[in-house]
Structures are given as structure tokens and as C-alpha cells.
Structure 1
Amino acid sequence: MKTHKAVASLISAAQNELRCVYSRNEAEQTALRRRAQSGELLKVYDGIPSLYANTAYWDGLTPPERTLHMARALAQEHPQWVFGGLVAVSAYGFEHQWHLHDGCITIVTSDHGSRQCHQRLRHVYMPDMNNPKTHYEASGLSLISPARTLVEAAIDLDFRFALPIFDSALAKGITKEEIAADCVQWRIDYARVFRLLRYANERSENGGESLARGTIIEDCFLTPRIQVTVTDPQTNTEYRVDFVWKLDDGRVIVAEYDGTQKYVDPAMTDNRSIQEVVAKERARDEGLKRAGATEIVHFTYADVIERTPLRVKLIKAGVPQVETSA
């Protein structure tokens, strides 16, 4: 395709500024559409304005990065916009599951109720949105506060998907008191927020473990202790265990979250073979049993997402279930 210097400059500038490409110029819009039709560019947001990105460049971005690229382009065109939802979650660096990104952007409005310009742009009412003191800056964007971001996540997401965001926020220094205080500004049922505050724990190691714990709680299992350090009495080796249940009858059930990277990512395996990784895991399990574990459960991200495999493993191991998860 013939080089269009102005469009090439737009693409280069956008990538340097970590945002998507757009133009209000009719000729440049036509050139962008042609490049999208040829596959050189992707049309990633069909709104006002439409947003584009180099195909190879876009493929190399994570879902949170893609959301922030779209938001930065829209912020350039609409500097008065204040962003919420997963834009704010991503901008603050809060852990969350990437599949939650659906290509939509959330902004807040002072108009009561939600209003949709089109399906990719969500408007959320915030009563004090026009107060500059409620606006925060992160990742080059004007955002709702971290506390408001958490309240919004509690309202919009299932408990198990909101818990990783809460855990991560606490680990980054956001306090439960800040989050509770923000609830005063919202005329809604706060039960979802306070349930998350009850179970949120800054000691969670990553979003996958937080999701697993949230799923365990949702499925009415006894809440486990997390990140517990135990010592193998034979070797004096210390192990940090993801989940532990110490039951009244003396049994100690341990559960370990095994991400797929553990077996395929050289950075995680120290370039060891899968056989070596499995052998090390077996040796760890033996050490945990010598340290007092009576049952050891291994589960994966897929087990958590599908729920039933995790539930079956926990029931088989004897993890108690309670009458309610509230």
C-alpha cells in the first residue's frame, strides 16, 4: 500500500504515547480505514472517534494495556472525561482477571442514571463527579479515586472476580477505612462492598490465588488461611503454602495453586525440564506431609474458572463446607 506520510506519523506518535490511532481529518480517516481493510491496522473501537492500532503492535499488548491505549486516545479527544471501571483498575495496577476486558470503556457522568452513546462506551453516574477533588491521575488518565474504583468493582463484578482487585489494592496501601468511607457517597446496597472488605487480604500473592480464594468462599467452603509458612522437620526446609485448613479433628489440609507457567515458562522453571519440576513438586509434597499436612490438593486456573473441578477436589480432601458464604 502506498505510504501516507501523515498517517504513518499518526501511527508512530500514537505508539510512542501508548495510545490508539485516530484522526478527525476526513482524508486521514479514509486512509486509516483503508489500512484496516488491508489488515495493516485493526479497528479496535468503533465510536466517536473510531480508534485503530497496528495489527502486530496490538497483538503484543495485554488486555489491560489495550484498554489503557483506548482510554488514552479517548482522553486526548475528550480531555474532560474521567474514567472508571476496568480503565481505573488497570491504571492503578490492581490485579484482576484479563478475561474481564470486553473492549468497552467506562466514564463517569454527573447525569443521574446510566446513559449509552453506543455499546462500547459506558456511562456511570457519580454524584460528585464535577468536584475536581474527586479526580485522580494515573497512567496519564483522569480517574475516579482508588476507593471509588473498588466500590464500583464490588457493584459490577461477581464476588470472586472483585476479590483480587480488593486484595491487590490493600497490598498497594489502600485502606479498608477509605473504601468504607467512600460508600457514604453511594445510595446503594453496600452489602457487596462490606462482604469483600470482610474477606479481602493484602497477603494474597497474586490475582490467581485471590480468585481461587474467592471461589472457595463463594462455594461455601471454610475460609482458608493463606501464605502460611511451615517447616519440614527432617530437612529444616521452610515452605510457604498457598492455602491451609487446620480442622478441629487434627487434620491439616493444604491446597496449592499451580499456574500453567510453572511448567512451561523458562523464567518460572529455571530452564528445568517438566520432569524436574514435577520431581521437585513431589519432594515438596513429601516435606509438607512431614510438616503435618494430612491432605494436599493441587489445582489449576482452569479448575478455578470451571468451579466444579475445584469443588470436587476440595470435597474429596475433606474441606468443610458451611451453611452460608456471607
Structure 2
Amino acid sequence: MVRTLARIHPDRVFAAESAMCMFDLEQPYDIHPEHELTIASPSRSGIHVFAKTGFIKRTLYVPNMQAMSINGVRVTSLARTLFDCARLLPFECMLPIADSAAKAGFDMASLTQFPTTRFDETNRIARLLTYTDPLSDNGGKSRARAVMIAGGYMLPHLQYPCPNPDNPAFPLRVDFIWFLPGDVTVVGEYDGMAKYGNTWTEMNTHVTKQCKRDAYLRKRGVTTIVHFSFDDVIHRELLYRKLDDAGIPRMH
């Protein structure tokens, strides 16, 4: 839709999530609702609903606009796009984008160059800068971490290396790891469905490898291994139950 409208209205500048889709960053599908787009405006913010189609055009006030072009589509700068998304989107949707930007080398601290108009916006930006981590491996794991943060859980170490007996040059990296009092070590593994494959053989091979990996981690002193899925992240009470059962403390 963005590309099509850019051809029809070449002077239009897209903003927030509608600009974000043009950048090569991890981003959740659910920040892009059907039949909604956001356009930058140098003068005002507003919303227009087209009666016949139900299409929603949001206008976002962007002062001192410095538009850039990506594949023929005019969008707000990456810094401005990140800033607007950070103040408008839920934290669990924004952290994957921020982690991805930081991993690509973007200085997230540059978001502070833009003035906020409300106290809650200032808090949203500060919270995002506090928790952004370029070590996050992908958007699903970033979203899982955001849900953990929202639940008040102790922050894990990310992509922690463990010795690999089969190939010492390439250590095993666990998604999340907590070192708790009493020599208790808990590993968290985010199991995206893509890693299981599409056939019975692929799934069986993955499960076999996973069991072997888990057994080795336990031999290396890991006390508990928590496997969780995207469904657990979306229905956060399921993830919270698993973390509670594993003894991950809540800090607040």
C-alpha cells in the first residue's frame, strides 16, 4: 500500500509504522494494521476515516521534517521514525525494532534529540533506551524479553556462549540465561516454529538435537531449561508461569 500510494502521491511523506516498513529492521506484523497508514505533516496531527472503504489515514505532526527516499518512497528519517514509533507503539512491539536498529549499528541515544510533548512520551523513550540490547538474536526473542521486563522479572544474559563438545570453535549460545543464588543456573530457549522444519523428518531431527543439547547443558551445570514459544509470549501468563516454576525472581 505504501509503495502504491507513493506512486500516486510522490510528494507524500510516510511516518511512524508506515515509514518503518521501508527500513530493513525486525518489526512485528501487528504494528501494520490493515487499511491504516500514517502520513507526516509539517503542520498538524489528525485522523481521517474514509466512509466508503473504512480506510484510516493518520496524519502525524513532524516539525522540521527531513524526509529521505527509500526505493522511491519518501519517509521520515530513521531516527525520527524510531522516535515516533517509540512514543506511539506498545513497548513489546517497539523493543524488537530498537534491538534490530542497535544491532545494525544505529545509535539509539540519538532519539533524545527530538523534544517530547508529554511526560509519558519521555518515559517511553527512556524505558526503551534503558532496555535496548543489540545482542538480541531476532524479533521474537526481543518481544519475549519485553514481556519478561513488563512482568518485572530479573533480566537475563543474552546469547550466552557455552562450550560445544562437537565443535569447540563454535560455542553453543543459549537465548537467555539467569545465574541465581545457590549455584542455580536457568536457561531460557525461544523455540520459533521455523526451527522445527516443515516435515516430520525435519521436526524429529530438530527434537533429537534439542534433547542432546539440553542433556549437554545440564551436564555443564545448567539446573533448569525453560522452552517457550511465540504462543507463550503472546499469552504472557503462560510464559510467566514457566518462569515462576523455574524460580526466576521478580524484581518488582
Q: Aligned letter for 1:249?
A: G
Question: Is 1:188 aligned to 2:118, yes or no?
Answer: yes
Q: Where does the alignment leave 5 or more consecutive residues of structure 1 unmatched?
A: 1-69
Moved more, 296-305 or 106-115: 106-115
Select which of 152, 174, 178 maps to 1:241.
174
Deviation (angstroms), 1:117: 5.4
Question: Is 1:128 aligned to 2:58, yes or no?
Answer: no
Q: Aligned letter for 1:180?
A: T
Deviation readout 1:232-290 (Å, 9 max, x if unpaired): 57985721000011113321110000011122347xxxx94322211110000011112
Q: Distance in 1 between matches of 2:171 and 2:3?
A: 45
Select which of 101, 108, 114 maps to 1:176.
108
| 8 A Cα contact 1:84 1:149, kept in partner | yes
SS in 1 for 2:176: strand
Select which of 223, 228, 236 maps to 2:160.
228
Runs of 4+ in 1 over 6 A off after TM superposition: none
Q: Distance in 2 between matches of 1:92 and 1:235?
A: 36
Deviation (angstroms), 1:224: 0.8
| 8 A Cα contact 1:106 1:121, kept in partner | yes
Q: Distance in 2 between matches of 1:95 and 1:125?
A: 25
| 8 A Cα contact 1:85 1:105, kept in partner | no
| 8 A Cα contact 2:98 2:108, kept in partner | no
1:145-294 aligned at under 5 Å gives the runs 145-181=77-113, 183-184=114-115, 186-189=116-119, 190-231=122-163, 238-265=171-198, 272-294=201-223
Q: How has the CA–CA distance of structure 1 residues 155 and 247 changed in structure 2, closer, same or farther, with 3 Å as cutoff?
A: same
Q: Distance in 2 between matches of 1:293 and 1:235?
A: 20
Equivalent in the alignment of 1:302: 231
Q: Distance in 2 between matches of 1:167 and 1:229?
A: 19
| 8 A Cα contact 1:232 1:291, kept in partner | no
SS in 2 for 1:161: helix
SS in 1 for 2:58: strand
| 8 A Cα contact 1:254 1:295, kept in partner | yes
Q: Distance in 1 between matches of 2:44 and 2:147?
A: 34
Q: Aligned letter for 2:90?
A: D
Deviation (angstroms), 1:145: 1.1
Q: Distance in 1 between matches of 2:205 and 2:166?
A: 22
Moved more, 93-102 or 195-204: 93-102
SS in 1 for 2:212: helix
| 8 A Cα contact 2:14 2:39, kept in partner | yes
CA RMSD of aligned residues (A): 2.0
Deviation readout 1:48-74 (Å, 9 max, x if unpaired): xxxxxxxxxxxxxxxxxxxxxx11221
Structure of higher RCO (CA pairs closer than 8 Å, 6+ residues apart): 2
Q: Aligned letter for 1:253?
A: V
Deviation readout 1:86-115 (Å, 9 max, x if unpaired): 222111112111133212111111223324
Equivalent in the alignment of 2:7: 76
Equivalent in the alignment of 2:48: 116
Larger radius of gyration: 1
Moved more, 196-205 or 74-83: 74-83
| 8 A Cα contact 2:37 2:58, kept in partner | yes
Identity of aligned residues (%): 34
TM-score by length of 1: 0.70
Q: Distance in 1 between matches of 2:220 and 2:230?
A: 26
Q: How has the CA–CA distance of structure 1 residues 314 and 151 changed in structure 2, closer, same or farther, with 3 Å as cutoff?
A: same
| 8 A Cα contact 1:232 1:290, kept in partner | no
Q: Where does the alignment leave 5 or more consecutive residues of structure 2 unmatched?
A: none
| 8 A Cα contact 1:232 1:288, kept in partner | no
SS in 2 for 1:116: strand
SS in 2 for 1:275: helix
| 8 A Cα contact 1:234 1:290, kept in partner | no
Q: Distance in 2 between matches of 1:241 and 1:82?
A: 41
SS in 2 for 1:211: helix
Q: Distance in 2 between matches of 1:163 and 1:195?
A: 10
Q: Distance in 2 between matches of 1:167 and 1:212?
A: 12
